[in-house]
Amino acid sequence: MRHNPRKRFGQNFLIDQGIIAQIITAIHPQPTDQIVEIGPGLGALTSPLLQHVSHLDAIEIDRDIVKKLRLEFSPDNLTIHAIDALKFDFSSLGNQLRIVGNLPYNISTPLLFHLSLFSAHIFDMHCMLQKEVVERMVAAPATSDYGRLSVMLQYRFDMEYVLSVPATSFHPAPKVESAIVHLVPRPSTMMNAHDDGLLSQVVAAAFSQRRKTIRNTLQRYLTADDFDRLDLNSGLRAENLSVNDFVAISNFLFHRIDQFY
């Protein structure tokens, strides 16, 4: 069954057998793994994964692809969830999930944050994303790529840049390069922000004007004395602060708010 890639779903199908083999090697699937594939497409990764595991779950929104996959694979081997991954309850599949996916670039960031809500159920993730996004995800402080996305994802995951994937590895070829990133949820004991929403708010404010110092971008949150109490140089820019620095700021503010209640 022929399938024409659909722009509205951000479809670019992986066709490079060499890259596919490298991805499978990176995932290193084991027979007892509970693998969940997001956006299986035409099965480029599905088939080789099923050579290592007897069953996997797949999340696919395109009804025509769902129909194709159901014709090609036995339901004993492949359970297809015909739903938008942004609306899927990954906890319904159990624990120790190994997420694999060529994430649609138009929803990659919100999808990563959606997946982070289920980190207690996830063992690890291997995701294909726009290379530029992966570089921002894994960026270290004091670099141009380090920003809001870096902080918020590094708070939740340990991440590693695994593999670059050229545009020619896809059909149709996208206008950007891609990359594979490996994400492992951090233990809950290490995610010690008292209020994740407040942490996100502080990080967003700090990076709202990258060229300004945190004295300016966080002036509605912190006074000069507050910076002293936090032992932070208010002349720094947001990109110079570590994830732990942002957690310390948000927890400082949380305790201040808590004093009024």
Instruction: Determine which of 117-126, 200-209, 216-225, 251-260 has the lowest per-residue pLDDT on average.
Output: 251-260
Residue 260 has pLDDT above 70, yes or no: no
Q: Tokens 């004007």 sit at which residue?
A: 209
Mean of per-residue pLDDT scores for the chain: 92
Residue 10 has pLDDT above 50, yes or no: no
**Interval 20-34 mean pLDDT:** 97
pLDDT-based confidence at residue 6 (cuts at 50, 70, 90): very low
Residue 24 has pLDDT above 80, yes or no: yes
Q: Are 162 and 22 in contact (CB under 8 A)?
A: no
**Which pLDDT does position 38 carry in this prediction?**
96
| pLDDT tens per residue, range 83-96 | 999 999 999 999 99
**Which pLDDT does position 259 carry in this prediction?**
54
State the SS3 of the chain.
CCCCCCHHHCCCEECCHHHHHHHHHHHCCCCCCEEEEECCCCCCCHHHHCCCCCCEEEECCCHHHHHHHHHHCCCCCEEEECCCHHHCCHHHHCCCEEEEEECCCCCHHHHHHHHHCCHHHEEEEEEEEEHHHHHHHCCCCCCCCCCHHHHHHHHHEEEEEEEEECHHHEECCCCCCEEEEEEEECCHHHCCCCCHHHHHHHHHHHCCCCCCEHHHHCCCCCCHHHHHHCCCCCCCEHHHCCHHHHHHHHHHHHHHHHCCC
| pLDDT tens per residue, range 146-168 | 999 999 999 999 999 999 999 99
pLDDT-based confidence at residue 258 (cuts at 50, 70, 90): low
pLDDT-based confidence at residue 3 (cuts at 50, 70, 90): very low
In order of start, what are the domains of the chain with their CATH numbers? 7-188 (3.40.50.150), 196-258 (1.10.8.100)
**Interval 125-129 mean pLDDT:** 96
Query: Which region, left, alpha or beta, applies to residue 91 given φ > 0 means left and ψ of -120 to 50 means alpha?
Result: alpha
Instruction: Determine which of 123-127, 190-194, 243-247, 255-259 has the lowest per-residue pLDDT on average.
Output: 255-259
By CB atoms closer than 10 A (0-12, 13-18, 19+), residue 92 is: exposed
Residue 2 has pLDDT above 70, yes or no: no
Residue 122's contacts (CB-CB under 8 Å, 6 or more residues apart) are 90, 96, 97, 98, 99, 115, 185
**Which pLDDT does position 7 carry in this prediction?**
47
Q: How many CB atoms lie within 10 A of CB 95?
A: 11
Query: Which region, left, alpha or beta, applies to residue 6 given φ > 0 means left and ψ of -120 to 50 means alpha?
Result: beta
**Which pLDDT does position 8 carry in this prediction?**
45
